[in-house]
């Protein structure tokens, strides 16, 4: 009887020990799963960063290639404008020089060939084309300062200029969705990684445009308070539900349909701003809009 009791006690002890071991195993397992998830998130972030870097490189290459033809098209157009002026002047002088019998014939030809309209329209066409090449040049400049692959990573930059460069790049995604208002304050140059900041600004602007259903407004403002530069992006988009507000900086958190968002934009932005010694704040009212404010410290060169 005594033996049986002892055996039973021993079995119970063993069973408890087993339970304890099991619990430890479960905990270990759980920790492993968590580590795995963290590794996966880190890997995806790295991939996304590499993607952005190669997009930057590609953009810089394309910008370089476009620069050359745009340069000669612009200069040829300007020359063409001068030629047209001279030809028009020549026609006017010829008109004055010829005798009255030929003049009638010339007038008829002039009417038939719409010479007056052509010389007027040619000037308009050239002006429009020059506007176009100006725009292409601005985009190329934007692409170059956006990607800055060949320049040192840290440099003194003007945040307002960074914003302009980024706006040039994302303009296509914004223009049908929103009117963009800019309120740039006076900012000191600050040592930063402009390429990375451009990425951050781009994500805020694209997010703002994507939050707007049909037509809305995006207001970009900059100012300095104390030793901080503040950049705000306010939109009149759909806003963020309160229960999501604490999750938007998590990697892979997205409310966008598959293929539209990876949910990495804000987590990478947060990372970049933290590395600059700054912070990101968000205020949002569902149905009214959202304001993101980036704070970065002024670092003297």
Ligand X SMILES: Nc1ncnc2c1ncn2[C@@H]1O[C@H](COP(=O)(O)OP(=O)(O)OP(=O)(O)O)[C@@H](O)[C@H]1O
Q: Residue numbers of the site for ligand X (CB under 6 A)? A: 203, 207-208, 211, 235, 237-240, 248, 253-256, 261-267, 290
What DSSP letter does each residue of 3-55 carry, written as one string?
Answer: HHHHHHHHHHHHHHHHHHHHHHHHHHHHHHHHHHHHHHHHHHHHHHHHHHHHH
Q: Give the residue closest to ligand X by C-beta.
A: 265
256: partner contacted, choices ligand X, Mg ion, none (Cβ within 5-8 A by kind): ligand X
For 208, the token pair is 């703002």
Q: How far is the CB of 122 from Mg ion (least distance, A)?
A: 46
Contact (Cβ atoms closer than 8 angstroms) between residue 290 and residue 204:
no
Q: How far is the CB of 256 from ligand X (least distance, A)?
A: 4
Q: How far is the CB of 49 from ligand X (least distance, A)?
A: 12
264 vs 273, which CB is nearer to ligand X? 264
216: partner contacted, choices Mg ion, ligand X, none (Cβ within 5-8 A by kind): none
Stretch of 49-57, 72-80, 203-211, 240-248 lying at the interface with Mg ion (CB under 5 A): 203-211
The helix (H) or strand (E) run that includes residue 234 is strand 228-235
Stretch of 55-63, 91-99, 168-176, 196-204 lying at the interface with Mg ion (CB under 5 A): 196-204
Q: How far is the CB of 296 from Mg ion (least distance, A)?
A: 19
- Cβ neighbours of residue 218 closer than 8 Å, sequence gap 6 or more: 174, 178, 179, 180, 181, 205, 208, 209, 212, 233, 234, 235, 236
State which of residues 166, 207, 236, 267 lies at the interface with Mg ion (CB under 5 A): 207
41 vs 154, which CB is nearer to ligand X? 41
User: Any contact of residue 265 with Mg ion (CB under 5 A)?
Assistant: yes
237: partner contacted, choices ligand X, Mg ion, none (Cβ within 5-8 A by kind): ligand X
Per the document, the length of the chain is 301
**Look-up: residue for tokens 């960074």?**
162
Strand order in the sheet with 279-285: 178-184, 216-225, 228-235, 289-297, 279-285
Q: How far is the CB of 207 from Mg ion (least distance, A)?
A: 4
- Whole-angstrom distance, CA of residue 301 vs CA of residue 298: 9
237 vs 265, which CB is nearer to Mg ion? 265
- Whole-angstrom distance, CA of residue 87 vs CA of residue 93: 10
How many other C-beta atoms lie within 10 A of the C-beta of residue 274? 11
Q: How far is the CB of 238 from Mg ion (least distance, A)?
A: 14
Select from 148, 167, 169, 170 the least CA-distant residue to 157. 148
Size of the site for Mg ion (CB under 5 A): 3
Q: Give the residue closest to Mg ion by C-beta.
A: 265
Distances (CA, A) of 25 to 21, 37, 49, 73: 6, 18, 36, 71
Which value, to the nearest 10 degrees, does the dihedral of the CA atoms of residues 269, 217, 237, 251 take? -10
User: Any contact of residue 166 with Mg ion (CB under 5 A)?
Assistant: no
253: partner contacted, choices ligand X, Mg ion, none (Cβ within 5-8 A by kind): ligand X
User: Any contact of residue 251 with Mg ion (CB under 5 A)?
Assistant: no
Can you give the binding site for Mg ion, defined by CB under 5 A? 203, 207, 265
């Amino acid at each position: 009887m005594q033996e049986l009791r002892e055996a039973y006690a021993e079995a119970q002890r063993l069973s408890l020990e087993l339970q304890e071991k099991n619990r430890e195993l479960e905990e270990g397992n759980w920790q492993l799963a968590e580590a795995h998830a963290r590794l996966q998130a880190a890997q995806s972030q790295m991939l996304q960063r590499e993607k952005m870097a190669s997009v930057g490189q590609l953009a810089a290459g394309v910008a370089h290639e476009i620069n050359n033809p745009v340069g000669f098209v612009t200069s040829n157009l300007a020359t063409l404008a001068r030629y047209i002026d001279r030809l028009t002047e020549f026609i006017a002088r010829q008109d004055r020089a010829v005798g009255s019998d030929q003049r009638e014939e010339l007038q008829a030809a002039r009417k038939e060939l719409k010479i007056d309209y052509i010389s007027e329209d040619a000037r308009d066409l050239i002006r429009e084309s020059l506007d176009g090449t100006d725009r292409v040049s601005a985009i190329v400049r934007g692409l170059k300062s956006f990607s800055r692959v060949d320049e040192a990573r840290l440099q003194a930059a003007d945040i307002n200029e960074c914003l302009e460069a980024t706006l040039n790049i994302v303009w296509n995604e914004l223009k049908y969705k929103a009117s963009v208002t800019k309120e740039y304050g006076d900012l000191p140059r600050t040592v930063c990684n402009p390429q990375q900041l451009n990425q951050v600004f781009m994500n805020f602007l694209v997010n703002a445009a994507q939050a707007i259903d049909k037509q809305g407004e995006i207001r970009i403002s900059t100012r300095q308070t104390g030793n901080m530069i503040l950049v705000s992006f306010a939109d009149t988009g759909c806003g963020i539900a309160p229960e999501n507000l604490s999750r938007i900086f998590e990697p892979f958190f997205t409310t966008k349909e598959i293929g539209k968002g990876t949910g990495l934009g804000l987590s990478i932005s947060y990372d970049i701003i933290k590395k600059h010694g700054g912070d990101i704040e968000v205020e949002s009212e569902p149905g009214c809009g959202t304001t993101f404010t980036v704070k970065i410290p002024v670092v003297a060169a």
